[in-house]
Amino acid sequence: MMEEIQLQDISIDSFFEKYELKFKAIADKKRLQIMNILTQKGAMCVCDLAPLVDMAQSKLSYHLKILLEANIITKETRGTWSYYELNQEELNHLLSHELCCVFKPFC
């Protein structure tokens, strides 16, 4: 019984942690701008994205990693290039329909 309650607590706790991670990822002006650009342009590599968001490469890679680890975007490597794309499915689970067109693709 004790264990049951504890398990419940642990699971609700990790549930909140999961959403903390996701909301934290999108809780940033620059990362929202990145999402907005990916909404409009589809998949992009770091070197093409960098000038659009006016960011140094290492800084952009840092922000992309945050979004990637929250599953907000996906990554596909081709040669030396890394192509990043919005994860539409994930965003649909997360955001209101209203936020389509701005932070979600094809809505």
Using CB under 7 A, list all residues that contact DNA: 24, 28, 30, 45-48, 56-59, 61-66, 75, 77, 79-83
Shortest Cβ 4–DNA spacing (Å): 27
- Name the residue nearer to DNA (CB basis): 59 or 93: 59
- Quote the Cα angle for 74-72-91, to 5°: 120
The whole-angstrom separation of Cα 81 and Cα 8 is 43
Residue nearer to its own copies on the CB measure, 50 or 95: 95
Query: Distance between CA 67 and CA 70 in Å, rounded?
Result: 5
At position 74, the amino acid (one-letter code) is T
CB of 37 to DNA, least distance (A): 14
36 binds its own copies (CB under 8 A): yes
User: Which residues, listed in sequence order, are joined to residue 75 by a DSSP beta bridge?
Assistant: 84
Q: Which of residues 52-91 bind its own copies (CB under 8 A)?
A: none
